[in-house]
Amino acid sequence: MSRKLFFSIGIMALILSSCNMGSRGIDPGDAVKVAVASFEKQAEGIVEKTVVIEGTVLHTCKHSGKRMFLVDGNDSIRVEVTAGKEITKFDEKLVGSRVRVLGVLKEEKIDEKYLNEWENEVRKPQENHNAGVHTGAQGHEDQGTQDKLDQINSLREDLKKSGKDHLSFYSIEASKFEEIKK
């Protein structure tokens, strides 16, 4: 009797553990822990790596819900988080909540070529309507022409001051997130 019970328990444990294998997804234990306060300093060395970050949601994009910004005590340091394929949207109700995000750190490089293409699109929107890369993030297309040109010129100045051939902007493409309840 005890042999059958032991055997049954062993089989059930095996079945349950194999069922959990596929539903775990990315193990956050393997992710690089990143803090909002040191995000910019850490980012360059961990591009395309899986990271986990905690912060307070300062803003979610109202139109698409595909972006949110995290802060942690100091609103001058913000981390952009974009929704990956697995996430439909970030709900506006998250604003003010503390969240934990798991995702891949991404880098966007802005160089003179990029700025020239963007400026051409802004100056001739009809001709470049389908080019689309620089026309504005979804939900932010309503930014005026002069505002866009001012932003381009500001980036050109930053690029010149940096002494580098490009500027890097970092964000996290989220695969999972959870609200941290107190």
**H-helix or E-strand spanning residue 73:** none
Domain assignment present for residue 53? The answer is yes
Task: Give the DSSP letter string of 5-44.
Answer: HHHHHHHHHHHHHHHHHHH--S-GGGSEEEESTTHHHHHG
Whether 90 and 174 map to the same domain: the answer is yes
When comparing pLDDT for 21 and 172, which is higher?
Answer: 172
pLDDT at 130: 55
Is 60 exceeded by the pLDDT of residue 68? yes
If asked whether residues 124 and 73 sit together in one domain, one would say no
Residues 139 and 103 in one domain: no
Lowest-confidence range among 2-16, 33-47, 145-159, 162-176? Answer: 2-16
* Range scoring the smallest mean pLDDT among 63-72, 109-118, 121-130, 140-149: 121-130
Please give the residue range of the domain that contains residue 95.
22-108+169-179
Smallest Cα–Cα separation from 122: which of 96, 99, 145, 102? 145
Tell me what pLDDT residue 16 has: 35
Number of separate domains in the chain:
2
pLDDT of 80 reads: 95
For residues 155 and 103, membership in a common domain is answered with no
Confidence of residue 175 (pLDDT cuts 50, 70, 90): very high
| pLDDT at residue 4 is higher than 90 | no
Q: Is the pTM of this model over 0.75?
A: no
Q: Would you give the DSSP letter of residue 45?
A: G
> Helix or strand or coil: residue 137?
coil
